[in-house]
């Protein structure tokens, strides 16, 4: 039985040392340490890793961290929501987001043409610039071919970007497929609709992409899921693992609680009842703000993987 031990600060303490000490602190710190261990295990076991996240995390500074994880070979498959793709493209083309306040006058922000996501602020003009740009991108795609699955379309867009901190750029460069089953749920979807009105033979095939995500793994593959937040991005990944025999490893990080009965709050133990993760799987569920918990758990995992030569750091 693991004993509770007192936490002590020491000069120049590394993040990895702090997270290691969490094993003996208690409460959610224990789960955070376990999450980091599970991430290391899935990579050591050569599991195919599904990384899922919601769009608000791309709004934040985690966007560049996700791109770096792709470059380092941590993620094999990405699943996200359309807002994150829009904002990844926006940031890749020079748009700047700001940090504001959770307790602000939202009517005043609206009058100033500013949108608030928590304590992050985005100018309306940034979305207008995105809309002008995406129309030009769709014309280029249409000239190349008329029918696209979502992941194929996103790969093509990634190839058009030139930003090392872009998720789509790094995914395209490193042959990591990006899936977005709810591609119409945002400004991007609206412009897909408008473009299709002018070009009725332009088709974005969501159903084909369901087959594509199933074919990223097989029953024989070891599979791991790192699900940050909830929503359709989380469920789409674990459904894909379910249909291929379930995942051997799963890390969920969320602010939602299991008592809601929601996908966002469903923990890794509940997933066993569905066969989404296997009975004998290594699992961890961390309740807390992902902008805090994920960088800490992943930094410790990266340190260990680096020390064992398991990171893709050639030419870095």
Q: Is the pLDDT of residue 90 over 90?
A: yes
Name the active-site residue from 43, 48, 276, 278: 276
Rounded Cα distance between 42 and 225, Å, is 9
Q: How far apart (Å, rounded) are the C-alpha atoms in residues 3 and 1?
A: 6
In angstroms, the CA 87 to CA 122 distance is 10
Per-residue pLDDT tens over the stretch 11-52: 999 999 999 999 999 999 999 999 999 999 999 999 999 999
Among this protein's residues, is 278 annotated catalytic?
A: no
What's the pLDDT score for residue 230?
84
- 261-297 pLDDT, tens per residue? 645 555 555 656 666 565 667 889 999 999 999 999 9
- What are 160-211's pLDDT values in tens digits? 999 999 999 999 999 999 999 999 999 999 999 999 999 999 999 999 999 9
For 281, the token pair is 């799987």
């Amino acid at each position: 039985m693991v004993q509770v031990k007192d936490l002590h600060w020491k000069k120049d303490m590394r993040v990895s040392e702090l997270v290691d000490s969490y094993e003996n602190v208690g409460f959610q710190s224990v789960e955070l340490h376990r999450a980091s261990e599970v991430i290391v295990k899935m990579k050591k076991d050569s599991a195919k890793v599904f990384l899922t996240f919601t769009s608000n995390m791309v709004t934040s500074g985690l966007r560049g961290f996700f791109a770096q994880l792709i470059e380092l070979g941590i993620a094999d498959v990405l699943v996200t929501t359309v807002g994150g793709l829009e904002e990844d493209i926006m940031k890749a083309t020079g748009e700047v987001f700001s940090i504001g306040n959770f307790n602000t006058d939202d009517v005043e922000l609206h009058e100033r043409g500013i949108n608030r996501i928590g304590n992050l602020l985005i100018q309306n003009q940034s979305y207008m610039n995105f809309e002008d740009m995406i129309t030009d991108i769709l014309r280029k795609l249409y000239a190349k071919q008329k029918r696209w699955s979502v992941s194929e379309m996103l790969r093509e867009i990634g190839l058009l970007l030139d930003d090392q901190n872009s998720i789509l750029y790094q995914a395209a460069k490193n042959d990591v497929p990006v899936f977005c089953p709810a591609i119409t749920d945002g400004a991007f979807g609206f412009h897909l609709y408008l473009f299709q009105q002018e070009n009725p033979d332009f088709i974005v095939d969501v159903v084909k992409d369901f087959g594509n995500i199933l074919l990223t793994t097989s029953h024989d593959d070891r599979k791991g899921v790192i699900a940050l937040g909830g929503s359709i991005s989380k469920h789409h990944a674990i459904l894909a693992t379910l249909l291929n025999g379930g995942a051997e490893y799963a890390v969920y990080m969320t602010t939602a609680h299991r008592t809601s009965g929601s996908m966002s709050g469903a923990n890794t133990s509940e997933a066993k009842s569905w066969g989404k993760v296997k009975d004998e799987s290594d699992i961890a569920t961390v309740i807390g703000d992902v902008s805090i918990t994920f960088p800490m758990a992943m930094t410790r995992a990266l340190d260990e993987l680096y020390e064992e030569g398991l990171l893709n750091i050639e030419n870095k």
